[in-house]
Amino acid sequence: MKGIILHGGHGTRLRPLTHTGPKQLLPIANKPMSQYCVESLKDAGIVDIAIIIGGVGSDKVKEFYGDGSNFGVNFTYFQQDFPKGISHAVNLCKKFVGNEKFVVFLGDNIIQKSIKTYVNEFALSDVAASLLLCKVPNPSSFGIAELENEKIIKIVEKPKEPKSDLAVTGIYFLTPLIFEVIANLKPSWRNELEITDALHQMLEKNEKITYHMITDYWKDTGTPEDVLHANQEILEKIEGSFEGSNDENSKISNKSIIGKGTSIKGNSIISDSVIIGENCIIKDANIESYSSLGNGTIVTSARIRNSIIMENCKIEGKLTIKDSIIAKNSTINSKNNNEKIFLLGEGTQITL
């Protein structure tokens, strides 16, 4: 079985974070969100993976992932010049897939449950497709599956008046039959070839589509709030490790991760569910729960709470930063005792 990861799009709801690169490379617990997709596929035994790239920073995707050897998989890249829909992206991989069954993973989807069981079941089945569904509070924002007698009878993309709260997650188990359907698919009102339309047409042709319910964590990380929530969820479950150095006055939770070469100095406090990357300097600072600090970041005298601070940032001064996402190479210097929420693009410099 083969895998496809969609890594394109403009990430407009995450600007300015996505002005310089794709949203799927934004870190969650110090790891690009699309890497969770790679690891999920690999865990299920899928090592031949196509990555669809397009939009801002496509070269950064190739630069980070390379040929896949560092991740124990094999990558093949396909360029989608403009967002034309999931079905269009999938169709670019027709020759790559050949006659095999395959799994499509949207690169901004985070799932903590292993998909290995679903993959094995699908491999042995004779169904045309299989979906993972999840109950959501805002069904009009998703493709929605309608059920009757525990069977999918209809799939609708972002319905204005949804008849179900079961979202079709961004993980699809498909057969080559989907390519025949896509060949006759018409663009939607968004001028995109929708995967939900393709799946619904399969239902109309009496092709069998099965489903599983996700009752564990799943998140479509389309907004800053979604990214922070995913960061919280993953950090909540981390096992602590310490590979740095610290002064005797510092207090470090054993449920935190401190990377190699990182120094915890002075009267610093590191709380539960925190990850700090390699070669960081934390001096007289409080790093509170659900915070991620990337490699090479320096924090002096500040308090960081429920935030993602990417690599090579410098934060100095008696300020509190909460519920924030700060892109790499940014600098914040505060001379006053402020409490702030930031959403900062790469290389931002702020003096308060």
| pLDDT on residue 176 | 95
Tokens (6 digits) for 167: 């979202």
Cα–Cα distance for residue pair 350/344, rounded to 1 Å: 10
Q: Is 122 left (phi over 0), alpha (psi -120 to 50) or beta?
A: alpha
CA-closest candidate to residue 98, choices 1, 195, 171: 1
Task: Check residues 82 and 236 and name the one with the higher pLDDT.
Answer: 236
Give the lowest-confidence range in 6-20, 137-151, 294-308. Answer: 6-20
For the cut 70, the answer to whether the pLDDT of residue 12 exceeds it is: no
Cα–Cα distance for residue pair 148/209, rounded to 1 Å: 13
Percent of the chain with pLDDT over 70: 98
Residues 161-216: pLDDT tens digits?
888 889 888 899 999 999 999 998 888 877 788 898 899 899 888 999 999 998 77
| pLDDT on residue 46 | 96
CA-closest candidate to residue 169, choices 131, 199, 201, 138: 131
Confidence of residue 299 (pLDDT cuts 50, 70, 90): very high
| pLDDT on residue 84 | 83
Residues 258-295: pLDDT tens digits?
999 999 999 999 999 999 999 999 999 999 999 999 99
In order, the DSSP letters of 299-327 are EES-EEES-EE-TT-EEESS-EEES-EE-
Residues in Cβ contact with 28 at an 8 Å cutoff, skipping those fewer than 6 apart: 36, 110, 221, 227, 230, 231, 234, 292, 308
Residues 28-41: pLDDT tens digits?
999 999 999 999 99
For the cut 90, the answer to whether the pLDDT of residue 301 exceeds it is: yes
All structural domains of the chain, each given as residue ranges with its CATH number in brackets, are 2-235 (3.90.550.10), 239-351 (2.160.10.10)
CA-closest candidate to residue 198, choices 188, 210, 189: 188
Task: Report the chain's mean pLDDT, rounded to a whole number.
Answer: 90
Confidence of residue 129 (pLDDT cuts 50, 70, 90): very high
CA-closest candidate to residue 299, choices 30, 20, 291, 257: 291
For the cut 80, the answer to whether the pLDDT of residue 325 exceeds it is: yes
| pLDDT on residue 188 | 81
Other beta carbons within 10 angstroms of residue 176's beta carbon come to: 14
| pLDDT on residue 41 | 95
Residues 151-175: pLDDT tens digits?
888 888 888 888 888 988 889 999 9
For the cut 80, the answer to whether the pLDDT of residue 14 exceeds it is: no
Q: Residues 253, 234: contact at Cβ < 8 Å?
A: no
Q: Residues 132, 211: contact at Cβ < 8 Å?
A: yes
Give the lowest-confidence range in 88-92, 124-128, 335-339. Answer: 335-339
For the cut 70, the answer to whether the pLDDT of residue 352 exceeds it is: yes
| pLDDT on residue 311 | 95
Question: Hey, what amino acid is at 38?
Answer: V
Tokens (6 digits) for 128: 């045309």
| pLDDT on residue 11 | 59
